[in-house]
Amino acid sequence: MARDAARQLGLIPHGTIYIIMRIYNRGFITKEQAKGLLDLLIEKNFHVSARVYKKAMLALERDKR
């Protein structure tokens, strides 16, 4: 629903994990904070596939910062 509304407004919709990764990549949060936020999503039963979660965690692990 929200994605459809964004598109109708001419915006490109992005999910929560995208936003977490984006703010990490821009240096606003640390790797540990990003991992903590991803874990919190799972802990709070936020709908995220295991594949997407693992992909984000792997990207964080591979990053040398």
Which residues span the domain enclosing 30?
A: 14-62
The answer to whether residue 49 sits within a structural domain is yes
Burial class of 50 by CB neighbour count within 10 A (0 to 12, 13 to 18, 19+): exposed
pLDDT, tens digit, 9 for 90 and up, residues 22-41? 999 999 999 999 999 999 99
The answer to whether residue 32 sits within a structural domain is yes
- How far is 7 from 3, CA to CA, in rounded Å? 6
Counted domains in the chain? 1
pTM of the shown model = 0.83
Residue 65, pLDDT > 90, answer: no
The answer to whether residue 9 sits within a structural domain is no
